[in-house]
Structure 1
Amino acid sequence: MRIYFIILSLFFCGLSFAQNTISGTVTDANNQPIPGANVKVVGSSTGTSAGFDGKFTLKNQNSFPFSLEVSMMGYSSQTVVVNSKEQEIIVTLSEEATSLNEIVVSASRTPERILESPVTIERMGLKDIKNTTAPSFYEGLENLKDVHFNTSSFSFKSVNTRGFATIANSRFMQLVDGMDNSSPALNFALGNLLGVSDIDVASVEVLPGASSALYGANAFNGIMFMNSRSPFVKEGISTYMKYGQTSQTTAGNNPFYDFGFRAAKKFTDHFAAKGNFSYLGAKEWIASDDRNVSNGALDGGAIGHANNQNYDGVNLYGDEVTTFIPNVGQVSRTGYREQDLTDNKIESVKADFSLHFKPWANDFEIILQHKLGFGNTVYQGANRYALKNFYMDQTKLEVKGKNFFARVYRTAENAGDSYDTRFAAWNVNRAAKSDTEWFTNYATAFQLSQAYLGSSASQAAAIGRNYADYNNLPTTAGFNTLPQFASAPIGSPRFEAGSAQFNQALATIIKDPDFTKGAKFQDNSKLYHADVNYNFKDLVKFAEIQVGGSGRQYVMNSYGSIFTDYTEPLKYNEYGVYTQIQKKFMEDRLKFTGSVRYDKSKNFDGNFSPRISFTYGAGANKQHNLRVSYQTGFRNPTTQDQYIGLDLGPFALIGSAPENLTRYVETRSVSAAGQALGNAATVTLTGENAYYKAYTVESYKSYAAARASGTPLATASSLLVVASPTLVKPERVQAIELGYRTIIKDFSVDLNGYYNKYNDFLSQTNTIAPLYGAIGTADAATALDNGDRRTFNVYTNSKAVVKSLGVGVGLSRKVYKNFELGGSYNYSQFDFDQSTDPSFEAGFNTPKHRAKASFGNDKLFKNFGFNTNVRWNSEYLWQSTFVDGMIPENVVFDAQINYAIPFLKSVIKVGGANLGGKDYIQVLGAGAIGQQYYASWTINP
């Protein structure tokens, strides 16, 4: 970090050039200052922003007279003529009735009012960021219509729009200053861990629907743009300090800290620079769900091994290791709580530095930017991963002008000391006693306690577990001297959580990347990206035409711990080109937008994504805007879908790239019964066994039930169905959207409805492969009977056609003076024919009903404002590779009050999230979200 502070210290050592200097003030109709108002010389790129007191100073080389354009989101722009340096410049901006007049760029890659956007779009500007009730602007995005969050950790939240999202939301793209900040290995955005700080964010735009026509494969169900503030416009040193407390039933009350600073300097009209640093420290929302899991879903079964000898708690790990013992039943090992396997400390550090060059007196700009983020958090995928000292950085070179941009950037990540908590628990258990020893101990004590003590099944289970865990036996005379105990392998007693033995074993295991005895998560992957866009609007007059394209290379390097990159990193490329045309008709009331994009990825055929939309402005002032659009989207299989090769113990994840099937290899042991049939003691399996030499899980369950009821092998084997998962290909969506927006005096309305049809939905399914015997033969069925089988989780496309639809309603108005009331409602649902793909889980993971409301006044009286938000969602089904089950409905209330201190250029804010509410969950398996209370001090916001 030293280099950042050295460079920042040089910001204020630049030379000044002889220039005209003018000063002025920007206020609203109540003569209150408007901090952050943009002031720009018309016809040039020279500009600045108003300070906390509304005052601005602008140095420029223009000769008098010249014009200034003064603007601010939420206010009508004003233009004033400046005739001399001595002129007193006071600009009064009128507040707009609604945010629908704000200008956005993302919907069409060209500036346009939200009111005229051809698709649904949500926006958060500087005013909204200041007034957010959430502890950070990113968390405040959840109060936008059409936005739903999936929270894996205190600092790891993913955005969900239009459904079909887990924490790993690879159907949603997130851009920060034009850079995709998704993980190169995981292919989804890591929340705001490599995003923008609260004092540097300028605006956020969210497009909830398919956006592949302009933005490519991953913009499948939505895209978000986070834009930072330019040092040419916002200069000076800004800082914030935030202290608060979290409260959760499991974790108790704990402090959290959040602070950061921003330094920016415009040395001349041609050169500026800025740097940012922020730090967050907190206690994790501890995951402590102890409900029982069976076949990957909550089953309402008995909780705890005292009541269930095959207990598998959601957030207890180690108890997934299970086996069937004759005359005893299915038994699982004793697990460890997640909170005992990690220190539950959250840290997030973000820093960035950028140099900005404007060689000429126009909008041409060259930007060199470097961003980095590192820290500790928790990610939930198939397992729960403790991300410790992970690191991710991005470096960008961008050239942009009035009608074009071109950028190249690189994203790199390093997993640091991250590890899989489930494997950590398994191998801490095995460090004390092998699975074979433990189950042998259990079976011995269980059966002898019944034979010699007359124990009931529950008593025998308790005795068996006590002996297997701690080598303890009942004190009944003679029982502990039986020769069966003396000859049984005993091993070491269980390592109690927090003990010296436990801590030493855990410390060793989380540094070992071999999952047979370790838990370390390795990743040093990279992503290289380039894109370009040109708008011909100054060259072609009959319509606005744009062309552009992008190219990307993934370099996957997990050292064989995640992907099948055993000997060298894996590389693959993809590229895309697009064009768009916009044309207005009927006195500019009707606007047509048409675009199409072609994309090609290494392992798949090329794909076209068209979009057509019409918007019409009705009414005398075109204030009634109606729109209709048809667009298609596609999503390429992720790096995991194609190249993962991860042994998770009970099953292995196998990606379906053709070369991946032969590259993945594992060795499995054959039972004594299987060896008695003439089979070798071990067999070698590849990914081809998972895809081509296996049975469906559903048919295996039917077969196993038939065999358990005494059905002969020949008859029962007719129930087995050969699995036939296809190799993955891109999934596709066709989307139709209708919308209506209007502004009537102080009242705004935003309505939208959509219908999506998905084909080739990317999914995962389990297969059961026998260790010997050809598929369809009696030998293969015998292998299943002997337990000589392997479960695989494979990536494929569902045969089901999935349909979803939704409606969104957004309303806002000034109800009295500056009091503003807003509300929104979203209805979402999906449907498919389960019989077309019995094992398919859509993973919609979105409430059918959501309602949100806000009420506030940022000018209640001089320098004082407040805001409140409330959110409600109905109960909904959660499906993931970790666990399936229901998410209860919840209500969340947030509020804040803020007070400005002009002479200190400061704002004090006090607020809270989930005030008075109960702990609630958004992700099964993640920690319940408690309450947050905070106070912040921001200087020069």
Structure 2
Amino acid sequence: MIKKLPIVFLMLFSIVSIAQTISGKVYDEYLEPFPGANVKTSTQRISTDIDGNFTLTKQEKFPFTLEVSAVGYKTEIIEVTDANQELNVILKESLSLDEVVISASRAPERIIESPVTIERLGLNDVKNGTSISFYEDLANLKEVDVNENSIGFKSVNTRGFSPFENTRFVQLIDGVDNSVPIFNFSVGNLAGISELDVESVEILPGAASALYGANAFNGILLARSKNPFEYGGISTYVKTGITRQEAAGSNNFYDVGIRMAHAFSNKFAAKVNFTYFEGEDWHADNESNTTGIGGVETGGFRRVGDLGSDPNYDGVNIYGDEVSGNINGIARDLVRLGILPVGTDAVIPSVNVSRTGYREKDLVDYRANGLKFDASLHFRPFGNEDLEIVWNSRYNRGDNNIYQGTNRYTLKDFLLQQHKLEFIGKNFFVRGYYSENDAGNSFDTRFAAINLNESWKSNNRWFAEYIGAYARAFTGNIPNVPANNAQAAHLAGRTAADTGRLVPGTAQYQAALNTVSSDVAGGVKLLDRSAFYHADANYNFRDVIEWAEIQVGGSYRLFNLNSQGSIYTDANSRISFDEFGLYSQIQKKFLDDRLKFTGSVRYDKSQNFDGNFSPRVSLSYGLGENKDHILRGSFQTGFRNPTTQDQYIGFFAGATHILGTAQDNLSRYSVNVTNNDGTTAILTGQDAIDRSFSALSVSQGNPQRANYNLVKPEKVKSFEAGYRGVFNLTDTNLLEIDLNGYYNDYEDFLTEKVAFVAHYGEFVNGAPDAALLNAWNNRDLTRFSIKTNSTAEVSSYGAGLGLKTKFFKKFDFGLAYNWARFRFDRSTDEEFKPGFNTPEHKVKVQFGNANLFKNFGFNINARWQNSFVWESRFLDGVVDARTILDAQVNYRVPSIKSRFKLGGTNLTGKEYIVAPGSGLIGSMYYISWTIND
């Protein structure tokens, strides 16, 4: 037996390498060490360390295949024949059209083969970005718009209809919808992913409901974080610089982040991320006069209190001046009540006068910050990717960030927490997560100013003093004020009424502001702890069924609203409702794999609405010897369920009552109103539907019933055609082309319409009865903003062109152009405001070199768009054309594993607005130091 041992030993050695480690190193094409590259064999998967080194510790049979890959780089496959083989691998950047995406079909495929348009941001794009963060760099992608609510709160949109509260676009982070329950839309990267942890971002412009369900109406963003099994180590960054804005001056900002990840074994790994940002927000200081909330700028800035000013002045970013009344009518009432002498009303003109308001900068703290923390535990029971169990918790806190909706809100001590448990296999996933927000001390700036005025001096007293002083001045009873001069009398009236007014900057003013901004009953503070529970699952039958790739999946969501009556009609009882969806998809290739068919269908049902089917069909065909010229065409549908606010909102917004119109919400909302004769009445949500006059009829003086219906889902039919291809300009230079065109047809567009609800009376067979006509004639009407659907015929269409190439082998060049228009037949709904809010023409240019010379690179991005009309509940107006230039230079220091970057945004210095009423966006200049990225 002993004599046979050498023979047995040699036989075993020929099969395996006993306790023999195999090592190697990975470089990028500039021969710099490549950290975080994936090294994979049939039995294990590891990542390179910060110096690009890797070591295989498991025993492998010779020969075996080694696969080295990284996002944005071509995969290298090496055959390893013995333990002494020198393994030095160079990864080269791949064509962007060769990069693998999963969002378009919920299965890995090259971008060039995707059945629909898709945009992508990879690791290289993150490193070479010119903006302050990768999220802002999304604005440089074709078809993507990034709207800036505030310095810490940006929202992404595609293909139009993009207000700040973008409920038509879905954002998923590792499969988790990071929309905020209180708003029903994402707050961008305020509650997002760390720059150090992002692996890739994919954006599907256009309808995506067939696979992703309700609300993936305009598009969807899918961000993937780095798996700690594949990306280990400690990495960190520090950024600092200044912001410059004419209104705010120059101010410092800070941005820091750290990521720690470690695979303790091939079964267990964990990671932690922490980021913090602080900076001065963009000040909003537009004091132009307007026609009121939801109106337009009238220009002709003349401040209240100046001789010759508009007595009914309502400034864009001045709040509290929305409180307005006809002083002749008020004077008659005060005379009747004996508060003013008889005859006073005879000299009072029939004009509206507004209270003196406060500037936004006196109401909010513009020093904004955001903190994000998340932690993940990853467990692989079998030591491989056959099954991975993930627990992830995210906490996102924001302070003093501005959100512009119907009013301007300051998100103070705002918190969003999310917790996920997920089971991921080779062909399936099952996940469940919980999302809850806490509005903290957030408040409505307009209501804060209104209540601040009221807390100091009641409206009745203020108008009485105004009218009394006006009458004395007009009749020559105030020294040094000329008689019979209306302008001088208005100035005297305001001076008298404002005597002793709270002055910003004083302790008395701050104490009063603190009191009113904490007042829930007064409609100032946003009290909300709404939440939702979500579960979804997907299974791919590719290893079971060979003739085609078939997937099935589904999702379920349960909403729990909790605003205690401050936003929703839940003062006396909680509101809860649910929705679910089921989908299936089949993909099949024909004709030597040149023709690819994709068909999908999804069924969704919400508790409050009828079920809805969303089909999608697409065909793509590969031309050329290498199938690198792809023609594609698709038809798909999308739908959007009414948001929780569309269904259950119910509160007073300063000039109007906002009402959601789910059937059971009508009886939940009521408001006390006062008639012009001093009597009172109670209006309910049902009254707002049954006896309301349309805003158009009120403006025309012709009483007509509003006829607004209860909300229901809106729908879109989308047609798209495109081409993706690669041309060889030279032996070493390629030109990538991505061209697409689309047409969208909308039905039952969700909207908000103004109605004036009569305090008494009824419509009989569509005509007002005598009591209702009396309410009309007496102006016993209350303004409501009602959530409903439009009968308007609305469509949108557009095209996009993207080009990418290299100059002189090293210089990257990209050009993107987008054209977008919409069509609206106003005769189908004269009161509807489409809110397309998108420029017709956009051009984006990128030029850079990641390695101009050893360890040094640069990148430049320029964006231009033409002027366009912005419509919103806050203010309508024109957004001027603009050109934005961002740039950065960077230097790598391998010896300390660092990258230094110096850059700036909006380098032309010309300030611009994203929307009427928002702060002018200035310039940012920064320097950053990143370690182990």
Could you state the TM-score of these two structures normalised by the residue count of structure 2?
0.92
**What does residue 82 of structure 1 align with?**
80
Q: Could you tell me which residue of structure 1 aligns to residue 658 of structure 2?
A: 653
2:117 is paired with a residue whose SS is: coil
Contact 1:211 1:223 in 2 (8 A): yes
Secondary structure in 1 aligned to 2:190? coil
Equivalent residue for 1:929, pick from 914, 921, 925 = 921
Deviations 1:584-634 (A, max 9, x none): 000000000000000000111100000000000001111110000000000
Note the 1:313-332 alignment, pairs <5 A: 313-326=315-328, 327-328=348-349, 329-332=351-354
2:751 corresponding residue in structure 1: 763
Counterpart residue number, 1:158: 155
* SS state at 1:378 partner: strand
CA deviation string 1:390-409 (max 9, x = no partner)? 11111000001111000000
**Counterpart for residue 607 of structure 1:** 612
> 1:559 aligned to 2:564?
yes
Tell me how far 1:791 sits from its aligned partner: 0.2
Which residue does the alignment assign to 1:708? none
Q: CA deviation at 1:62?
A: 4.5
State the match for 2:310 in structure 1.
308
* Secondary structure, counterpart of 1:138 in structure 2: helix
Structure 2 CA distance, aligned partners of 1:595 and 1:511?
Answer: 49
**8 Å CA contact 2:49, 2:233 repeated in 1:** no
SS at the partner of 2:264? strand
Q: 2:388 aligns with which of 365, 383, 393?
A: 365
Q: Where does residue 338 of structure 2 map in the other structure?
A: none
Which residue of structure 2 aligns with residue 99 of structure 1?
96
Mapping of 1:820-899 within 5 angstroms? 820-899=812-891
Aligned partner letter, 2:406: A
5 Å matches for 1:191-590?
A: 191-295=188-292, 296-303=294-301, 304-305=303-304, 306=306, 307-326=309-328, 327-328=348-349, 329-363=351-385, 364-376=387-399, 377-452=401-476, 453-470=482-499, 493-515=500-522, 519-590=524-595
Post-superposition offset of 1:66: 3.3
CA apart distance, 1:30: 4.3
Q: Deviations over 1:358-388 (max 9, x none)?
A: 1114311000110110021111111111111
Q: Secondary structure at the match of 1:842?
A: coil
Q: What is the alpha-carbon distance in structure 1 between the residues aligned to residue 709 and residue 815 of structure 2?
A: 45
> Does the alignment pair 1:792 with 2:784?
yes
Give the distance between the partners of 2:748 and 2:70, measured in 1 at CA.
45
Q: What per-residue deviation string (whole Å, max 9, x for no partner) do you get for residues 648-674 of structure 1? A: 132100000111001101111222xx3
Unpaired runs of 5+ residues, structure 2, are 1-17, 329-347, 477-481, 729-733
1:33 corresponds in structure 2 to 33
Code of the residue aligned with 2:124 in structure 1: it is K
Q: Which amino acid aligns with 2:626?
A: N
1:711 is matched with none
Distance change in 2, residues 1:64/1:386 (3 Å): same
SS at match of 1:289: coil
- Does structure 2 retain, via aligned residues, the 8 Å contact 1:182–1:188? yes
1:357 Cα offset (Å): 0.6
**Aligned AA (2:34):** I
The amino acid that maps onto 2:143 is D
1:750 maps to 2:738? yes
Cα deviation, residue 288, structure 1: 1.1
SS at 1:429's partner residue?
helix
Counterpart of 1:406 in structure 2: which amino acid?
A: V
Alignment of 1:119-158 (within 5 A): 119-158=116-155
CA contact under 8 A between 2:870 and 2:916: conserved in structure 1? yes
| Structure 1 pair 458–59 and aligned structure 2 pair: CA distance change class (3 A) | farther
Cα deviation 1:409-451 (Å, max 9, x = unaligned):
0001100111111110001101111111111111221222111
CA gap 1:61/1:419 in 2 versus in 1, 3 angstroms: farther
- Is contact 1:321–1:332 with CA below 8 Å preserved after alignment? yes
Paired residue secondary structure (1:793)? strand
Partners in 1 of 2:657 and 2:352 — Cα distance? 21
- Give the whole-Å Cα distance in 1 for the aligned partners of 2:575 and 2:104: 34
State the alpha-carbon separation in 2 of the partners of residues 62 and 84 from structure 1.
10
* Secondary structure, counterpart of 1:192 in structure 2: helix
Instruction: Rate the CA distance shift 1:234–1:696 in 2: closer, same or farther, 3 A.
Output: same
Give the deviation of 1:52 after TM superposition.
4.3
**1:727 Cα deviation from its structure 2 partner:** 0.5
Q: Does 1:49 align with 2:38?
A: no
- 2:720 maps to which of 711, 734, 737: 737
Secondary structure of the residue aligned to 1:568 is coil
Contact 2:72 2:123 in 1 (8 A): no
Q: Tell me how far 1:647 sits from its aligned partner.
A: 1.1
Identity %: 51
CA contact (8 A) 2:912 2:921 kept: yes
Q: Would the aligned equivalents of 1:737 and 1:755 in 2 still touch at CA under 8 Å?
A: yes
Give secondary structure in 2 for the equivalent of 1:314: coil
Q: Partners of 1:63 and 1:231 in 2: how far apart?
A: 27
Partner of 2:667: helix, strand, or coil? helix
Deviation at 1:937, TM superposition (A): 0.5
> How many Å separate the matches in 2 of 1:748 and 1:646?
52
SS for the counterpart of 1:582 is: strand
- How far is 1:65 from its partner? 4.6
Deviation, 1:301, is: 4.1
Deviation at 1:21, TM superposition (A): 4.4
Deviation at 1:64, TM superposition (A): 5.1
SS at match of 1:458: helix
- Of 887, 892, 896, the match for 1:904: 896
Q: Which amino acid aligns with 2:90?
A: T
Task: Pick one of 41, 57, 64 that aligns with 1:66.
Answer: 64
The superposition leaves residues 894-933 of structure 1 with CA deviations (integer Å, 9 ceiling, x where unpaired) of: 0001111101011001100001231111122211111000
Task: Report whether the alignment pairs 1:644 with 2:636.
Answer: no
For residue 268 of structure 1, give the secondary structure of its aligned residue in structure 2.
coil
Q: Quick check: 794-803 or 286-295, which moved more?
A: 286-295
State whether residues 293 and 314 of structure 1, in contact with CA within 8 Å, keep that contact through their aligned partners in structure 2: yes
In the aligned structure 2, how far is the partner of 1:398 from the partner of 1:168?
Answer: 29
Change (3 A) 1:819 1:386: same
Deviations 1:48-75 (A, max 9, x none): 3334443334444645553221112333
* Distance in 2 of aligned mates of 1:463 and 1:83: 96
Aligned residue for 2:452, secondary structure, equals: helix
* Alpha-carbon distance between aligned partners in 1 of 2:19 and 2:529, rounded to the nearest angstrom: 49
Does the 8 Å contact 1:543/1:581 carry over to 2? yes
Of 681, 685, 698 in structure 1, the residue corresponding to residue 683 of structure 2 is 685
The residue identity in structure 2 corresponding to 1:834 is: R
Question: 1:787, 1:440 → 2: CA distance?
Answer: 22
Specify the code of the residue in structure 2 equivalent to 1:323. G
Aligned letter for 1:751? Answer: L
The one-letter code sitting in structure 2 at the alignment partner of 1:548 is G
1:811 is paired with a residue whose SS is strand
Residue 114 of structure 1 corresponds to 111
Q: Kindly state the Cα deviation for residue 39 of structure 1 after the two structures are TM-superposed.
A: 1.6
Shift of 1:85: 5.2
C-alpha deviations, 1:540-595, integer Å up to 9, x for none? 01100000000000100000100001123210000000000000000000000000
Q: Is the 8 A contact 1:107 1:117 kept in 2?
A: yes
Amino acid paired to 1:458: Q
- Partner of 1:538, secondary structure, is coil
Cα distance between partner residues in 1 of 2:260 and 2:83:
28
Q: State the distance in 1 between where 2:689 and 2:19 align.
A: 71
